[in-house]
A and B are shown apart, each in its own frame.
Chain A
Amino acid sequence: MNWRLRWARHHLSALIQDSELRVLGLALVCAVAASSAVQLFGDRMARAITAQSGESLGADLIISARSPIDDTAISALNPQLRMARTIHLPSVIWFGDSNHLAGLKAVDEHYPLKGELRTAAAPLHEERVARQIPAPGSAWVDAQLWSELRLQRDATIEVGATTLRVSRLLTYEPDRGSGFVDIAPRLLINMQDLPATKLLQPGSRAQYRVLVSGDEDSLQQVKALEFPPDTQLSTPADARPEIRSAVSRAESFLALASMTASLLGAIAVGLCAHQYGQRLRADVALLRCLGAARRDILGALLISLLAMASVAGGLGAGIGWAVQFLLQDLAQLMLLPSLPPPHPLALAQAWLIALILLAGFALPPLLDATRAAPIAVLRNDNPQQRAGWGWQFAALGGLVGLLALQAPSWSMLGAVIAGQALTAALLAVLSLAILALLRPLRHAALRGWRLGLGNLLRRTGLSIAQSMALGLGLLALLLLTVVRHDLLQGWQNKLPPDTPNQFLINIQSDQVEPLQAFLKARGVTAQRIWPMARARLVAVNDQPVDADSFSDPETQRWINRDFNLSWADQLGDDNRMVEGQFWGPEAHGQALISAELYVRERLGVGIGDTLSLDFAGDVRRFTIHHLREVDWESFQPNFFLLTPPGVLDAVPATWLTSFYLPPEQRSAMRDLSQTFPGVTVLDLDALMDQVRTIMQRIVGALEMVFVFTVAAGLIVLLAAMEAGRHERRREIALMRTLGASRREVRQALLSEFAALGALSGLVAALCAQAVGWVLAAQVFEIPYEIRWLTVVGSAAAGAVLVCALAWLSLRPVTNTPPDRILRE
């Protein structure tokens, strides 16, 4: 082993023995552990949530097409894959003289692959989980069709060319879809009965589906298969907008947590390396003096950095891996479904993060140290050298690389970088301002305090750097504790316990008032009551359209259905204007229409385009007045299309309303359907429970992952305390030699750090409120209140925390005889 390796080994062992390198090592390990745990767990978490929402689709993957799907290739892939086949087609169902258009769904005996079917003997009877699909010759009908056709149990209905017996009321099917607009009457039959209906004719609007379920690899194989062009693959995330947005929000948050952890790690590594680099200069100067080539010194440093990256990367990834298993145990305690195995690539990435952290943040100051002039040995001094701009760019590049590795999207990367830059600037400006305010205070203070404050003011540069680092650390802690709690709480509150769980539809105009009285008498506060008319889209900009005018299967399906329209002169909170303004009273009676973004997405229309709608033979033409976006997570009635009041008065309409009904008042619904026979009751409790559970699980997982980021924040605090510790040691020793009492020295230190801590705590609290507000508005779309008490509390907590850390780090110094320090 030559001196280079010995020197490298010395740096490595200093990882344990030297306080600065120890913090550096800790920061490295923590950043890597955090990001790998987040990567590993977040990845698995997202996959688990997706899998769980598979229950809401009845499968992990649905393949749908307009023509029969050849599924032999799928069954050939993997014997583990399970499959079910369904065929959907619109059909008019007859019962006696009455008829109604329903969505007919024929299913085979394997259906559903995930989740369950539930039925009842009749409306408002006890619900049971169905173990089998309807027997041949029988059909299950949902509540809406049941009431539309005024069915009884065992009624015989005509379906195409055959007749079927209504054996059960269908109360729940997993792939029903939750959006209110999706709800169309349903008829579920056995696949064996389908031929007899003779509904499957060429040109019939049938949709063929193959439901697939299996492990992820096999699903990937299925996705990779070649299908005819009109085939559509959909996964649970496609099917449920509210779950999709919850999952993507959770992914963003996990990414944010891990990005914050590595950012904090970078700061800690940079701070420590800068300090260590200062001390390294003496070694380098000596080596140079003795004739060592700079290349050799560099080589030795690179070896030690690589070794550090390996050790810390390995250790961090190992901890991340282990903790992620721990998380899994916790996850199971929380009744999360079992997680799929972690991805080995995530581990490689963890190592890469260690490397980038060292290369971007430790290498520059250390490289800089290798430029130390040998003459410094003779002069016995250690001139501090400013890092060149080149290195600042290297650090910036490292930062971007680090974040880019973990950011799920470019826009998020941009937002995080801009946010961090703004935060840093805000921290710097606030620190400067508060320091300036402190200046006059110094003279008023006691001797010990005067010294401490003086120290703070004298070293403005270091004070600001330290207060920024401390501020960032505290900011991370605050964001992750106080603000996060508010945000997650706010998010969960989007679905408060009194969210409507009962929907009444098919209310006739003459039933509106008696129904409202009925509900009021039972203490139920009904939300708004909406009129609703049904229509079919027949032309866009006067060009006739039907399903064949569009190639996209989703649009085809949508065009095929009746559109539900309503009219209104005001919108709920869950509607946001995207383009144009909502209309005022002057729009009354005008042929205008308000379109949800989905309409633009499907039809490619915008403001000023016209839609012609057919209301049972009465065709009317509307001009799009504005575009709005609906928050479908709200569970409130909403419509893709709205007109002003007074336009559709002559069109046959029914009414609908929604309200929250506590479980113990369920019996009121039985009375209701007896008093108002035509009214259909939709019970959405089960659906909402599902969404609530998923939200809770996501929040739980996020809380677990944030623990690491909190640790990273603490390490930054530690690193900031280490900065200047060596310098401070000498100062303390000098003060003691010059006759300051131990008490005075401690008072000076305490006052300095208390001021520093309060300063950074205050700055961090102000920033945290700002960031929380931005996150609430931009990411969670929830209201956020600035909490002044938290601001004051954080400043105090910052002071206490920083003092405690300073005490721990400097107490041994005040106890050491000063001459020992000065002789070092």
Chain B
Amino acid sequence: MSLAIQAEKIEKSVGSGSSRIQILNATSVSIDSGETVAILGRSGAGKTTLLSLLAGLDQPSAGRILLDGHALNGLDEEQRAKVRAGRVGFVFQSFQLLSGFTALENVRLSAELAGLSDARERAISALKDVELGHRLEHLPRQLSGGEKQRIALARAFVARPAILFADEPTGNLDAATGAHIVELMFALNAQHGTTLVLVTHDEALAARCQRQLRLRDGQLVNA
């Protein structure tokens, strides 16, 4: 089985001099293709930081990261964006949709960035998969939080990414809506065989993943 993510001895520190904070301390992790992994940790432990490094949104101070077989070291932001396009999907706590784009346009954007030719058809079918086939032309501000997050899910899956990163996807939703989103996410994940890296505070949600890792003192440990 191939590795979706391989991180070796990555470090991350911010600031300099006396205000320097070491967030990640030479930690390593390997995640198999198709594996589902939850990352736990108390607030401020560095979960979001780790996620952004693994997804290639930021660069580690030291260490090596391979994303779907591509070494991220030494790549500039522009080249990393190219690696991300179509290969990585995101679901965020605060949805993050383009406010000027309709539901369909938001999803289609991701498909187009992945270079898919039938972007529109795929976007429509992805929105149908999250039960929003009837809200294609609606703008984000016309939709509820749960609906917005379902669009985000459709956007994340539309390009069939190899890896999906989710940072507290239910953090902004009430329990029932959150549960619905989680069901959808795991269903889509199972359907597409996507690798899932999920950051959460929620032990029950973490338990649904195959592996649980805890971030403590800048190190990942098995929970």
Contact = CB atoms under 8 A, between A and B. Distances in A.
Residue in B51, B90, B93, B141 with the greatest tally of chain A CB atoms within 10 Å = B90
B78 A283 contact: no
B77 interface: yes
A6 B58 contact: no
A377 B92 contact: yes
A378 B52 contact: yes
A3 interface: yes
Nearest to A823: B145
Given A289-B84, A377-B92, A378-B52, A3 B77 contact: no
A3 B94 contact: no
A283 B101 CA distance: 11
A379 interface: yes
A375 B113 contact: no
Interface in B61-120: 77-78, 81-88, 90, 92-94, 96, 98-101, 105, 108-110, 112-114
B82 A378 contact: no
B77 A10 contact: no
A692 to B, nearest CB: 59
A290 B167 contact: no
Given A3-B108, A3-B113, A294 B78 contact: yes
A210 B72 CA distance: 84
A290 B57 contact: no
Given A14-B100, A378-B57, A290 B92 contact: no
A290 B100 contact: no
A291 B93 CA distance: 19
B6 interface: no
A291 B92 contact: no
Contact of B82 (A6, A14, A293, A375): A293
A374 interface: yes
B119 to A, nearest CB: 8
B25 interface: no
B93 A290 contact: no
Interface in B205-221: none
Given A3-B108, A377-B92, A378-B51, A293 B167 contact: no
Given A374-B57, A375-B58, A291 B86 contact: yes
Nearest to B86: A291
B48 interface: yes
A441 interface: no
A292 B80 CA distance: 10
A286 interface: yes
Nearest to B83: A291
Contacts of A551: none
A215 to B, nearest CB: 53
A117 B155 CA distance: 86
A380 interface: yes
- In this complex, the interface size class of chain A, counting residues with CB under 8 Å from chain B, is 20 to 34
A374 B81 contact: yes
Contacts of A3: 105, 108-109, 112-113
B78 A293 contact: yes
A379 B84 contact: no
Interface string A349-385: 0000000000000000000000001110111100000
Given A283-B98, A377-B92, A378-B57, A290 B51 contact: no
B81 A375 contact: no
Contacts of B90: 289-290, 377
A10 B101 contact: yes
Interface string A1-15: 011001100110110
B48 A378 contact: yes
A63 B124 CA distance: 79
B105 A292 contact: no
B101 A6 contact: yes
Contact of A291 (B88, B98, B141): B88
A290 B85 contact: yes
Contacts of B88: 291
B139 to A, nearest CB: 10
Contacts, number: 81
A288 interface: yes
B125 to A, nearest CB: 18
Chain A CB count within 10 A is highest, among B57, B77, B82, B86, for B57
A375 B52 contact: yes
B105 to A, nearest CB: 6
A258 B87 CA distance: 54
A760 B96 CA distance: 39
B78 A378 contact: no
Contacts of A10: 98, 100-101
The contact size tier of chain B is: 20 to 34
B107 to A, nearest CB: 11
A6 B84 contact: no
Q: Which of A7, A10, A374 has the most CB of B within 10 A?
A: A374
Contacts of A378: 48, 51-52, 57, 92, 167
A10 B83 CA distance: 27
A205 to B, nearest CB: 80
Contacts of B99: 283
Contact of A292 (B85, B96, B100): B85
A607 B161 CA distance: 90
A567 to B, nearest CB: 81
A293 to B, nearest CB: 6
Contacts of A292: 81, 85, 113
A470 B48 CA distance: 42
Contacts of B155: 290
A304 to B, nearest CB: 11
A824 B97 CA distance: 12
B85 to A, nearest CB: 3
B10 to A, nearest CB: 15
A30 to B, nearest CB: 25
B78 A290 contact: no
A10 B108 CA distance: 15
A289 B57 contact: yes
Contacts of A374: 57, 77, 81
Contacts of B167: 378
Contacts of B109: 3, 6, 287, 290
Contacts of A7: 98, 100-101
A640 to B, nearest CB: 72
A13 B101 CA distance: 11
B152 to A, nearest CB: 11
B108 A291 contact: no
A303 to B, nearest CB: 15
B113 A380 contact: no
Interface in B191-215: none
A11 B99 CA distance: 11
Contact of B93 (A6, A375, A380): A380
Interface string B132-159: 0000000001000000000000010000
A223 B112 CA distance: 63
Contact of B57 (A13, A294, A375, A380): A375
Contacts of A286: 96, 98
B136 to A, nearest CB: 14
A37 B142 CA distance: 43
A283 B108 CA distance: 15
Given A3-B105, A14-B100, A374-B57, A291 B78 contact: no
Given A286-B98, A380-B94, A291 B57 contact: no
Interface string A542-564: 00000000000000000000000
Given A288-B77, A378-B52, A6 B105 contact: yes
Contacts of A375: 52, 57-58
Nearest to B100: A10
Counting from the closest, the 6 A-B pairs by CB-CB distance are A291-B85, A10-B100, A291-B84, A3-B109, A374-B57, A375-B57
13 contacts: A3-B109, A3-B112, A7-B101, A283-B100, A289-B57, A291-B82, A291-B83, A292-B85, A293-B78, A293-B82, A294-B81, A378-B48, A378-B92
Given A289-B57, A378-B51, 6 more contacts: A288-B81, A291-B85, A374-B77, A377-B90, A378-B52, A378-B57
